[in-house]
């Protein structure tokens, strides 16, 4: 994280202090995306706390095809939805970041993020949750903005 204030805006960029504790506390969630007549189900880690969201999928490889991480609620400290900003520092896997509005619809998808990049990946509008899945998976499944997400 850049600074404490930015820490909640930039999941996936912390150092390794507390990584094991953050992962150990992570819970699983089932996420369903309704894309037209198709339904896609993911079993993901749930990042709810600031520490879990700071850790994100850093250092993780071998993410299952229908796995990933859900950052919900976003922001973790509560309050109204806000623009999300992530980076891929210390993240060895390319990811698709699915930015989800408060009404459960997909606002935007940042596809195939660049591993280890410190460039900011922004939602472009206020969001209430973010789903990270394997890079290219959203296009492969036909997931697009406007699709409905439930967990």
The H or E element that residue 85 is part of is strand 82-86
pTM equals: 0.81
At 62 the pLDDT is 87
Tell me the C-alpha distance between 38 and 55, whole Å: 31
Tell me the C-alpha distance between 35 and 66, whole Å: 15
Tens digit of pLDDT for each residue in 39-60?
999 999 998 888 777 777 777 8
Q: Which residues of the chain have pLDDT under 50?
A: 1-25
Domains of the chain: 4-150 (2.60.120.1140)
Parallel, antiparallel, or unpaired: how do β-strands 38-47 and 95-100 relate? unpaired
Nearest to 101 by CA among 126, 76, 132: 126
Tell me the C-alpha distance between 27 and 36, whole Å: 29
> Which tokens belong to 69?
């991480």
Parallel, antiparallel, or unpaired: how do β-strands 27-35 and 95-100 relate? unpaired
């Amino acid at each position: 994280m850049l600074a404490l204030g930015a820490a909640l805006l930039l999941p996936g960029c912390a150092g390794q202090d507390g990584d094991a504790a953050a992962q150990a506390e992570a819970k699983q969630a089932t996420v369903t995306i309704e894309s037209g007549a198709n339904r896609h189900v993911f079993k993901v880690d749930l990042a709810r706390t600031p520490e879990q969201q700071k850790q994100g999928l850093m250092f993780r490889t071998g993410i299952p095809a229908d796995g990933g991480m859900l950052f919900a609620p976003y922001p973790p400290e509560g309050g109204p939805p806000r623009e999300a900003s992530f980076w891929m520092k210390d993240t060895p896997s390319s990811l698709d970041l699915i930015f989800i509005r408060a009404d459960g619809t997909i606002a935007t998808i940042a596809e195939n993020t660049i591993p280890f990049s410190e460039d900011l990946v922004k939602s472009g509008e206020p969001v209430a949750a973010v789903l990270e899945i394997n890079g290219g998976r959203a296009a492969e499944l036909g997931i697009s903005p406007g699709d409905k997400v439930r967990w």
